[in-house]
Amino acid sequence: MRVGRAIAEELGRAGATVAVHYARSGNGARATERAIRAAGGRARIFSADLRAADAATALVHAVTAWAGRLDVLVCSAAGFDRRPFEQIDGQAWNDMLALNLEAPFRLAQAAAPELRRRRGVIVNILDVAAFHAWTGYAHYAAAKAGLAMVTRVLALELAPRVRVCGVAPGTVAFPADYPAADRARVLSRIPLRRVGRPADVAGAVRFLCGASYITGSVVMVDGGRSAGSGTDVL
C-alpha cells in the first residue's frame, strides 16, 4: 500500500466521506473504495490528470457535488523522478511543476470557497527534500519546496477560517524500481534505522485534520532524518 491509499483509508476510518482520486490506477482506486466501504465508510472514486489546466477545478466541483460538502483537502498526488540536472528538459520540468506544485495550488484555489464555509483544512504532502538539497532531484525538490512555501502563504491568506498544513515524509515507501544499494544508503542515514510506513503519514494527516490550533506548520515524518544539519540527508 502506498501513501494516498493509506490516507484515504485512515480518514475513512475516522468517519469521513472520502473522494478517492486517481489518474491511471483505476484498479487501485476501486480497491481503496471497496476497503473504505467494507470498513463501514462512504467513498467514491474520481479520475483526473492533474497536469491539465482545468482539472483541479473540475475535480473539486465533481467531488463537492457528490458529497454535498468539502471539509478536508489532502494533496498527495505527485510525480517522483531522479535524473541529473543536465537531463531535466522542458517537458520533465513542466510535468513536475504542473503536478507537484501547480495542481495543489489550483486545488486549494478551487476548494477555498467551500472550505471557508466549512472551516476546513488543507493538508499538503511534501517531502524532506523540500528542506534539504539532494543531487538528482532538482525539479522534484524545487516543486516540493515551492509547495512548502505555498502551504505557509495560504495558511496566512485563508486564516482564520481555513487551516493549511503540511506533512513531510522521509522514506515511507520506496519506488518499486529503487536499487537495493540505494535503499541501504538511505537506511543508514535514518536515525530510527528503519523506513517509515504509509500509515505513519496517514496518522499525521489525521492528527492535523483535528488539530484546531495548528496552521502553517509542517510535521516531519522521517524517522529523524532531517533532525541534523541536513548535510547528512543524502
Q: Is 137 among the residues that bind ligand NAP (CB under 6 A)?
A: no
Partners of 73 in the β-ladder: 122
List the beta strands (DSSP E) in the chain.
Answer: 17-22, 42-47, 72-75, 121-125, 163-169, 218-221
Among 22, 140, 178, 213, the active-site one is 140
Evaluate whether 161 touches 71 at the Cβ level (below 8 Å). Answer: no
Q: Is 19 among the residues that bind ligand NAP (CB under 6 A)?
A: no
Closest to ligand NAP by CB, 54 vs 117, is 54
Closest to ligand NAP by CB, 119 vs 224, is 224
Q: Is 217 among the residues that bind ligand NAP (CB under 6 A)?
A: no
* DSSP strand pairing (121-125 vs 218-221): unpaired
Distance CA 137, CA 225 (A): 17
Distance CA 227, CA 234 (A): 13
**Among this protein's residues, is 137 annotated catalytic?**
no
Distance CA 146, CA 93 (A): 13
Q: Is 226 among the residues that bind ligand NAP (CB under 6 A)?
A: no
Closest to ligand NAP by CB, 36 vs 78, is 78
Residue selected from 19, 36, 50, 110 as contacting ligand NAP according to rule CB under 6 A = 50
Taking contact as CB under 6 A, which single stretch among the options 38-46, 62-70, 171-179, 212-220 is the one that binds ligand NAP? 171-179
Region 177-206 residues binding ligand NAP, contact defined as CB under 6 A: none
Q: Is 80 among the residues that bind ligand NAP (CB under 6 A)?
A: yes
Closest to ligand NAP by CB, 151 vs 171, is 171
Evaluate whether 23 touches 189 at the Cβ level (below 8 Å). Answer: no
Phi, psi for 165 (deg, rounded to 5)? -130, 170
Partners of 3 in the β-ladder: none
Closest to ligand NAP by CB, 118 vs 134, is 134
Taking contact as CB under 6 A, which single stretch among the options 58-66, 71-79, 149-157, 184-192 is the one that binds ligand NAP? 71-79
Q: Is 232 among the residues that bind ligand NAP (CB under 6 A)?
A: no
Q: Is 51 among the residues that bind ligand NAP (CB under 6 A)?
A: yes
Taking contact as CB under 6 A, which single stretch among the options 35-43, 76-84, 155-163, 204-212 is the one that binds ligand NAP? 76-84
Phi, psi for 87 (deg, rounded to 5)? -100, 5
List strands edge to edge, sheet with 163-169: 72-75, 121-125, 163-169, 218-221
- The residue type found at 59 is L
3-state secondary structure of 49: coil
Just list the catalytic residues.
140
Instruction: Summarize as ranges the residues that interact with ligand NAP (CB under 6 A).
Output: 2-4, 22-25, 48-51, 76-80, 99, 125, 127, 169, 171-173
